[in-house]
Amino acid sequence: MRGVMTVAVILSSLALPAAAQTRLPRTTPAERQVKELNRNIQQEQRVMERQQQYQIDNNQLRQRLDRQQNLANPSPPARIGTCPAGSIGC
Protein backbone atom coordinates (compact mmCIF):
# COMPACT_ATOMS: atom_id res chain seq x y z
CA MET A 1 0.00 0.00 0.00
CA ARG A 2 2.80 2.33 0.89
CA GLY A 3 4.46 1.61 -2.46
CA VAL A 4 1.26 2.43 -4.34
CA MET A 5 1.02 5.77 -2.56
CA THR A 6 4.62 6.54 -3.39
CA VAL A 7 4.05 5.74 -7.06
CA ALA A 8 0.90 7.89 -7.08
CA VAL A 9 2.77 10.85 -5.56
CA ILE A 10 5.59 10.47 -8.09
CA LEU A 11 3.18 10.29 -11.02
CA SER A 12 1.19 13.28 -9.84
CA SER A 13 4.35 15.33 -9.40
CA LEU A 14 5.34 14.51 -12.97
CA ALA A 15 1.89 15.34 -14.37
CA LEU A 16 1.60 18.82 -12.81
CA PRO A 17 4.53 20.42 -14.65
CA ALA A 18 3.33 18.91 -17.92
CA ALA A 19 -0.16 20.35 -17.39
CA ALA A 20 1.25 23.73 -16.48
CA GLN A 21 3.28 23.81 -19.70
CA THR A 22 0.21 23.33 -21.86
CA ARG A 23 -1.55 26.41 -20.50
CA LEU A 24 -0.69 29.65 -22.24
CA PRO A 25 -0.32 32.87 -20.29
CA ARG A 26 -3.16 35.34 -20.59
CA THR A 27 -2.74 38.06 -23.19
CA THR A 28 -2.56 41.61 -22.02
CA PRO A 29 -4.91 44.29 -23.36
CA ALA A 30 -1.99 45.77 -25.30
CA GLU A 31 -1.26 42.40 -26.95
CA ARG A 32 -4.93 41.99 -27.88
CA GLN A 33 -4.94 45.48 -29.36
CA VAL A 34 -1.81 44.76 -31.40
CA LYS A 35 -3.35 41.52 -32.73
CA GLU A 36 -6.55 43.34 -33.63
CA LEU A 37 -4.63 46.10 -35.42
CA ASN A 38 -2.62 43.51 -37.35
CA ARG A 39 -5.83 41.74 -38.39
CA ASN A 40 -7.31 45.05 -39.55
CA ILE A 41 -4.18 45.90 -41.55
CA GLN A 42 -4.19 42.47 -43.21
CA GLN A 43 -7.86 42.83 -44.08
CA GLU A 44 -7.27 46.28 -45.60
CA GLN A 45 -4.38 44.88 -47.63
CA ARG A 46 -6.60 42.11 -48.99
CA VAL A 47 -9.25 44.67 -49.97
CA MET A 48 -6.64 46.82 -51.71
CA GLU A 49 -5.25 43.80 -53.58
CA ARG A 50 -8.75 42.92 -54.79
CA GLN A 51 -9.33 46.50 -55.94
CA GLN A 52 -6.00 46.56 -57.76
CA GLN A 53 -6.77 43.25 -59.47
CA TYR A 54 -10.19 44.56 -60.48
CA GLN A 55 -8.56 47.67 -61.99
CA ILE A 56 -6.00 45.56 -63.87
CA ASP A 57 -8.70 43.28 -65.26
CA ASN A 58 -10.83 46.28 -66.22
CA ASN A 59 -7.93 47.94 -68.05
CA GLN A 60 -7.07 44.73 -69.91
CA LEU A 61 -10.69 44.35 -71.01
CA ARG A 62 -10.77 47.94 -72.28
CA GLN A 63 -7.55 47.42 -74.21
CA ARG A 64 -8.93 44.26 -75.82
CA LEU A 65 -12.13 46.06 -76.81
CA ASP A 66 -10.16 48.99 -78.24
CA ARG A 67 -8.00 46.61 -80.29
CA GLN A 68 -11.06 44.80 -81.62
CA GLN A 69 -12.74 48.04 -82.61
CA ASN A 70 -9.59 49.34 -84.32
CA LEU A 71 -9.13 46.13 -86.31
CA ALA A 72 -12.81 45.86 -87.26
CA ASN A 73 -13.19 49.46 -88.48
CA PRO A 74 -9.90 50.62 -89.93
CA SER A 75 -9.89 54.27 -90.80
CA PRO A 76 -9.74 55.11 -94.52
CA PRO A 77 -6.30 55.98 -95.86
CA ALA A 78 -5.49 59.65 -95.73
CA ARG A 79 -5.38 61.40 -99.08
CA ILE A 80 -2.19 63.17 -99.78
CA GLY A 81 -2.59 66.21 -102.00
CA THR A 82 -5.68 67.02 -103.96
CA CYS A 83 -6.53 65.28 -107.16
CA PRO A 84 -9.23 66.51 -109.49
CA ALA A 85 -12.28 64.31 -109.72
CA GLY A 86 -12.03 61.72 -112.48
CA SER A 87 -8.24 61.83 -112.72
CA ILE A 88 -6.32 58.56 -112.93
CA GLY A 89 -3.56 59.50 -110.55
CA CYS A 90 -1.74 62.45 -109.11
Which amino acid is located at 41 in the chain? I
27: Cβ–Cβ under 8 A, 6 or more apart, which residues?
A: 35
Instruction: Give the pLDDT confidence score for residue 56 in this predicted structure.
Output: 98
Contact present, 90 and 81 (Cβ < 8 Å): yes
Which amino acid is located at 82 in the chain? T
Per-residue pLDDT tens digits for 14-61: 655 555 567 888 999 999 999 999 999 999 999 999 999 999 999 999
